[in-house]
Each structure stands twice: as C-alpha cells, then as structure tokens.
Amino acid sequence: MPTTPIGGAPYPAGPDSDNVPADLMELAVWASTRVVMRFADAAARDAALTAPEAGMVAWLATPGSLTIRTATAWRTIWSSITWTDITLETGYGLYGTTPQAALDGGNFIVLRGGVQKSAAGTQIIGNSVIGSIPSSLGNPLSGDFPIAMQWLSISAGRIYVAPNRQITYVGPDTGWISLNGVRIPLA
C-alpha cells in the first residue's frame, strides 16, 4: 500500500486488492498515533505504546498532563498545577493573595501571591528571610530572581532562593512584595 508524500498516510492504490476493512484499519492505526492520544496515566500509555516514536503526543488524565515523545523518552510539555502554601516566617502575612508555590512541567517551581509584614505600618526589611518553598516540590536552583514590590525608591527588589528552599527578600525596605511570575529552575 502506498503512502502520502506528506505524513506518510497509507492509502489503497489501483493495483491493491479490495479489502476496505483492512485498508480502514491500517489508516486508523496510522492516524491514532498522530493525534493526541488519551490514557488514564503514564503506566497505561507505556503499556499500550510498547514501541513509541518521536513526535507522539499523549494526554494523561492522571496527573492531568500533556506529554510528547522525544527520540529517547516521554517529556511533559504541560501539566495542571497544584498550588501549595509557602511557609511564611513569623511576622509575615499575605498581601492580596496567599503566597504559594507549584511545580510547573516538572522543570520549574513557580510562585504566586504577595507578602507583607503582619503588623500594620511596618515594612519588610532588606535581607530578611520571609519564608520557605515546600520540600515536596523538589530542590530549587539557588539564585536571585526579580520581583515586583511597593515602589519606595529607584532600587529594584528581588528574592534569593537558597539551596535549603529559604526565600530571602533582597532590596530596600518595602511595604509589600509580589511573588507572581517567579519561575525557579529545579537543581
């Protein structure tokens, strides 16, 4: 049976014997490996696809992620996010929304929410440890990450994430900081 020049879809040609069910089956098998396949989880995907090919795409109902096959492995390209509260140090509270962290795609820890001092009218002092990323999310790559903060000067604020997952605010004293949009690679 010949195949199309783009995509390699099988189709019956004039000299082929007439066998509509077999021809449709061959086309269906070809097409089913080139669309987003759906499986209960990675184990079900791996059991069904014993010889996966690069470029295959599969949705996993648990944990709710889209995966793609590379030449050697399945990689997550999108996954639903489960947010976990960041443990704040004593004296700190939320500013706007609860400070939280999540694992995004298995490669990054993402943060959201705002932090301020619990006592009204007090400021977050520069170089203060404000909280910790939950250990269940893995080990972050330590380093500095830019953040938004209450504008009090021309200085920019940032957070420093330590190897032990502690988050330190680095910058001028400020009324609040925002963790929204911070993406920390896993170590």
What CATH number should be reported for the domain holding residue 129? Answer: 2.60.40.2460
Of 49, 79, 109, the one marking the end of a domain is 79
Output 63 or 183, whichever has higher pLDDT.
Answer: 183
Structural domain ending residue among the three candidates 24, 45, 79: 79
Average pLDDT over residues 55-70: 91
153 assigned to some structural domain: yes
pLDDT tens for each residue of 142-167: 999 999 887 665 567 899 999 999 99
For β-strands 148-149 and 100-104, DSSP reports them as: unpaired
* Position 139 confidence tier, pLDDT thresholds 50, 70, 90: very high
Across residues 165-182, what is the average pLDDT?
Answer: 93
186: DSSP letter: B
Confidence at residue 149, expressed as pLDDT on a 0 to 100 scale: 81
What's the structural domain count of the chain?
A: 2
Judge whether 87 and 81 are in contact, CB under 8 Å.
no
Rounded Cα distance, 118 and 91, in Å: 5
Is residue 177 located within the same domain as residue 105? yes
In this structure, the answer to whether residues 158 and 75 fall within a common structural domain is no
Does the residue 103 lie in any domain?
yes
Is the domain of 63 the same as that of 154? no
- Does some domain include residue 2? no
Collect all residues with Cβ–Cβ distance below 8 Å to 137 and sequence separation of at least 6: 84, 101, 102, 103, 109
pLDDT recorded at residue 69: 94
Pair (89, 176) in one structural domain: yes
Q: How far is CA 123 from CA 76, 95, 100, in A?
A: 40, 12, 21
- According to the model, what pLDDT value does residue 101 have? 97
Mean pLDDT of 43-70: 92
Higher pLDDT, 89 or 171: 89
Q: What is the mean pLDDT of the chain?
A: 90
Residue environment code for 129-138, b if the CB has 16+ CB neighbours within 10 A, otherwise e? ebbbbbeebb
CA distances from 148 to 14, 76, 176, 177, 178 (A): 67, 29, 9, 6, 5
CATH code of the domain in which 38 resides? 3.40.1620
Q: Which of 37, 69, 32 is nearest to 54 (CA)?
A: 69
Q: Which region among 40-44, 77-81, 107-111, 153-157 has the lowest average model confidence (pLDDT)?
A: 153-157
d(CA 36, CA 41): 14
* Domain match, 145 and 71 both: no
Strand ordering across the sheet containing 158-161:
87-88, 128-132, 166-170, 158-161, 143-146
Q: State which residues form the domain around 117.
A: 84-185
Residue 56 lies in a domain: yes
| pTM (predicted TM-score) | 0.65
Least confident piece of the model among 5-9, 65-69, 110-114:
5-9
Residues 71 and 43 in one domain: yes
